[in-house]
Structure 1
């Protein structure tokens, strides 16, 4: 299992301190041999303008919160990018004890209707745990045609992170698998910071760390990044190589995301999506839609 302390303020500070070299921080090399890969605690404390004792308490977890001024100073000293700066702020914000979050997210009917209203583009909805709450037909055909269409309504929903690291069919879809994996792990880190009392999220991270050494290594590096648009290079088993724009729309009230995939009209990538849709319709033709599909 992943240690809960791996997600706290101290762990994040330590990871970024060890990443920052003295040269990048503008510190002159000393005559003594360095025993740490990055900055020493006292060097970072001096750069941030805080006492060594105070910074040490933050990193060791004795202190679990810090003022905005201190967070801003630490972010500047550590050369954090905007996404990392915000993540640090979330980790350092005092929280009242909260009840464990419900294990199963609910999808609003209007969001399900929205997916059905865009049949020409693959679309999918996931929650903060990366559980798939719904997909339209083309989204299902693009990302997980080997999984039952009604799987998001089953007791154990498909999970994008679990499929990415443990499902060879889904993993093979991404020609840029490493980039996709980094983004997925970063999203889970940020989700843990927002929902520290979510047992379902804790279980997911723990199981992935046990079942996938690759996930465990990436998780230990604590990647953090925020981006809503990606260029996805896929190797689809039906239509072959295709490059699509992946736009992410966040539903803040539900902490859910809609993932949309599209290609510019008239391109070979757009033709591939048309071919995929036709192929999926042919697969459905001999049978009848499930009762759940008819109910929608």
Structure 2
């Protein structure tokens, strides 16, 4: 019956998993892991969104695609190995202590949402070894993640505001919005600012700077 409801409502992977959890049932239609291929149309779309930082992630918060402004805002994901190209891993366990949290303030909105996506992925893909290895690493290496994980709270905000302290352009108060692809377990995450605002102009400057470390060059 739950399978029929999920199909009729065209639920996303996250919504489907939550429906089965509310019904006290295990999913009978399971897959081994989240999708990792991004549709060509989505790739073209994010390339054209030059005034927004855009990242495409799967249900386990694996970064699958990004545009240049997202790389400048967070880091050059192309320089990372596939195993490290995970937003939650880099957020909580970045090897550079100064970059942990990606400069985001301590408001738990984005972090809580990311942990919730990972919690749903762990329930939906019980046989996916990489997801469960990631969770073990995070629990062992990040007290903040462990606190959020053990709270057992499911908090997914599809839109909110997040402050990012960027090392090159300073304080950015950004709107973030999460768009879920209805036919796959993937999310398009957009970080934007009001056109014409000082933050928008800072993003324009950041787009020009790109992933250069200006402090290192000045030194």
Instruction: Give the TM-score taking structure 2 as reference length.
Output: 0.78
Secondary structure of the residue that 1:189 maps to in structure 2?
helix
CA distance 1:88–1:277, change in 2 (3 Å):
same
Q: How far does residue 265 in structure 1 lie from its aligned partner after superposition?
A: 1.3
Separation in structure 2 between the aligned mates of residue 88 and residue 254 of structure 1, nearest angstrom: 17
**8 Å CA contact 2:90, 2:100 repeated in 1:** yes
Secondary structure of the residue that 2:71 maps to in structure 1?
helix
**8 Å CA contact 2:104, 2:165 repeated in 1:** yes
Separation in structure 2 between the aligned mates of residue 90 and residue 252 of structure 1, nearest angstrom: 20
Q: How far does residue 212 in structure 1 lie from its aligned partner after superposition?
A: 1.7
Which blocks of at least 5 consecutive residues in structure 1 are unaligned?
1-65, 67-82, 284-296
Structure 1 segments, 4+ long, off by >4 Å, are none
Look up the match of 2:58: 127
Considering only CA atoms, is the larger Rg found in Structure 1 or Structure 2?
1
CA RMSD for the aligned pairs? 2.7
**8 Å CA contact 2:20, 2:27 repeated in 1:** no
Look up the match of 1:139: 70
Q: How far does residue 267 in structure 1 lie from its aligned partner after superposition?
A: 1.0
Separation in structure 2 between the aligned mates of residue 122 and residue 98 of structure 1, nearest angstrom: 32
Q: How many pairs align? A: 196
Look up the match of 1:95: 27
CA distance 1:272–1:96, change in 2 (3 Å):
same
Separation in structure 1 between the aligned mates of residue 206 and residue 197 of structure 2, nearest angstrom: 14
**8 Å CA contact 1:151, 1:158 repeated in 2:** no
Instruction: Give the TM-score taking structure 1 as reference length.
Output: 0.59
**8 Å CA contact 1:133, 1:157 repeated in 2:** no
Q: Greater strand percent: which structure?
A: 2
1:179 aligns with 2:109: yes
1:228 aligns with 2:158: yes
Separation in structure 1 between the aligned mates of residue 31 and residue 179 of structure 2, nearest angstrom: 28
**8 Å CA contact 1:123, 1:258 repeated in 2:** yes
Separation in structure 2 between the aligned mates of residue 208 and residue 116 of structure 1, nearest angstrom: 31
Give the number of the structure with larger relative contact order, counting CA–CA contacts within 8 Å between residues 6 or more apart. Answer: 2
Look up the match of 1:42: none
1:159 aligns with 2:86: yes
Which blocks of at least 5 consecutive residues in structure 2 are unaligned?
3-13, 214-219
Structure 2 counterpart of 1:267, from 181, 197, 218: 197
Structure 2 counterpart of 1:254, from 184, 203, 216: 184
Secondary structure of the residue that 2:45 maps to in structure 1?
helix
